[in-house]
């Protein structure tokens, strides 16, 4: 029997993840069964279970991919050592790009809600959040180095608050359609400069 190439294995895995993502966005995370995912992927039960033993494993894989890509973008933003408000503006731009109906933010909302009910998903979300918070530490350290924040700034505390801007902005935009970036940023500027 010929060996299956690594490219083929990767393509099948990505096919399953793309099918899962479509199902989750269409039907919701909670309402999507493994049978739905298998049907959407157009593969056999054995083929899907070869790659993923459960829906939680699929959610973890999607979360790693999405959070991993966002961490890379946030790391790149932090590495630019921008003034604090420019860095915050860049973060909001990243969120704006994920707010469309088939973007990652709507899927993230579903994963967050499932995390409250499912301890395994809760662990996945916690791990992703810890990864996502690190670039905000770097942004905070840069703001301290630039003299925008006091030298004795509690980097952990400020990074936690800056990180909170990400879901806070995204949730408001997703759920009620506003504020727009300029309005949100004006509020951040008021808080930071008063």
In the chain the domains, ranked by start, together with CATH numbers, are 1-53 (1.10.10.60), 62-193 (1.10.357.10)
Reply yes or no on whether the pLDDT at 55 is more than 70.
Answer: yes
For the segment 47-69, the average pLDDT, to the nearest whole number, is 89
Average pLDDT score over the chain: 91
**Is 170 exposed, middle or buried, given 0-12, 13-18 or 19+ CB atoms closer than 10 A?**
buried
**Would you give the end-to-end CA distance of the chain in angstroms?**
71
User: What digits encode the pLDDT tens for the residues 88-126?
Assistant: 999 999 999 989 877 888 888 888 888 888 898 889 889
Looking at residue 1, its pLDDT comes to: 52
For the segment 28-36, the average pLDDT, to the nearest whole number, is 91
Reply yes or no on whether the pLDDT at 188 is more than 60.
Answer: yes
Reply yes or no on whether the pLDDT at 129 is more than 90.
Answer: no
């Amino acid at each position: 029997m010929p060996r299956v190439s690594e490219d083929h294995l990767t393509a099948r895995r990505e096919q399953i993840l793309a099918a899962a993502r479509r199902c989750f966005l269409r039907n919701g995370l909670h309402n999507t069964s493994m049978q739905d995912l298998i049907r959407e992927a157009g593969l056999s039960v054995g083929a899907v279970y070869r790659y993923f033993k459960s829906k939680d494993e699929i959610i973890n894989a999607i979360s790693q991919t999405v959070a991993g890509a966002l961490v890379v973008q946030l790391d790149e933003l932090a590495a630019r050592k921008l003034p604090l408000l420019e860095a915050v503006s860049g973060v909001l731009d990243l969120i704006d790009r994920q707010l469309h109906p088939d973007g990652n933010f709507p899927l993230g909302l579903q994963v967050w809600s499932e995390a409250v009910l499912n301890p395994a998903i809760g662990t996945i979300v916690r791990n992703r959040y810890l990864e996502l918070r690190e670039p905000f530490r770097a942004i905070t350290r840069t703001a301290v180095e630039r003299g925008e924040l006091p030298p004795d700034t509690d980097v952990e505390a400020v990074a936690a608050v800056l990180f909170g801007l990400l879901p806070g902005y995204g949730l408001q935009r997703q759920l009620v359609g506003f504020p727009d970036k300029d309005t949100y940023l004006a509020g951040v500027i008021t808080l930071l400069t008063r």
